[in-house]
Amino acid sequence: MLITIPDLLSAEHVQRCRQALASADWTNGNRTAGHVAAHVKANRQLTLDDPIGRQIGDLIVQALRQHPVFQSAALPAHILPPRFNRYEGGEHYGFHIDNAVFRLPARPRTGPAHADDASRSQSGLQAEGPSSGLLRTDISTTVFFSDPSEYEGGELIIQDTYGEQRVKLPAGQAVVYPGTSLHRVTPVTQGVRYGSFFWTQSLVRDDTQRSILLQQDIAIQRLIQSGGDPDTISQLTGVYHNLLRLWAEP
């Protein structure tokens, strides 16, 4: 399941983040690459303890906690603190699959997630790390901080069951896709591409099951908005929660 998150960050927030990222201290992205990825990775990143990255990362997580589409689609149990990259001058990242597990930093990042009053996010989702200190990368997310008109190339290419998906979104928007996906970033031949990337451990490990729950939630929300029969809404909401109870791994 691949979805886009429109207007995750406001234009004002994007402008402030861009100014901060432009003046940040960038390092060779190969320092965080695994043995295989190091052969196809050519970009720059902020270090994990960079104060600019931490500040913008907290802003992103806060926005995700309040965004109903992300909450409904990802069903986040834990979110890894966002990381940041920069591509220019032909830099790119070849096809790869992200690590299955990451170790979380010791510093607590966020509080309890927001919960809506209908089927969406009813499980009291959390964005702190699990007690094990490890996070399973069920879901990958990229947040764009550069508009498509500001750079050439730099498309995020994601392979899924329907073929290659080419993603190049306006600044402030995000794309969410399964962590199991083979993906790459094409060379940036002009301009600069700033972005954030991170992973989420979902309450529901299986992508197909998450997709079913999302479709069910969307149907419930549409019925509510159109003034649908309350008994039908209650019955469908009960089915949603029973499926979530069946599939969730808190």
Domain count, the chain: 1
Condensed to tens digits (0 to 9), the pLDDT of residues 48-87 reads 999 999 999 999 999 999 999 999 999 999 999 999 999 9
**Residue 177 within a domain:** yes
Condensed to tens digits (0 to 9), the pLDDT of residues 181-198 reads 999 999 999 999 999 999
**Residue 197 within a domain:** yes
* CATH number of the domain to which 182 belongs: 2.60.120.620
Section 96-101 average pLDDT: 93
| pLDDT tops 60 at residue 13 | yes
State which residues form the domain around 25: 3-206
**Residue 153 within a domain:** yes
Cβ-contact 96, 34 below 8 angstroms: no
CA angle 201, 203, 204 (to 5 degrees): 100
**Residue 101 within a domain:** yes
In the chain, the amino acid numbered 101 is V
Cβ-contact 195, 188 below 8 angstroms: no
**Residue 247 within a domain:** no
**Residue 9 within a domain:** yes
Alpha helices in the chain (DSSP H): 11-22, 51-65, 68-74, 207-225, 230-247
**Residue 245 within a domain:** no
Closest CA to 88 of 246, 238, 207, 195: 195
Cβ-contact 244, 203 below 8 angstroms: yes
**Residue 16 within a domain:** yes
| Cβ within 8 Å of residue 219, ≥6 positions away | 236
Condensed to tens digits (0 to 9), the pLDDT of residues 119-137 reads 444 333 444 556 678 999 9
Cβ-contact 103, 201 below 8 angstroms: no
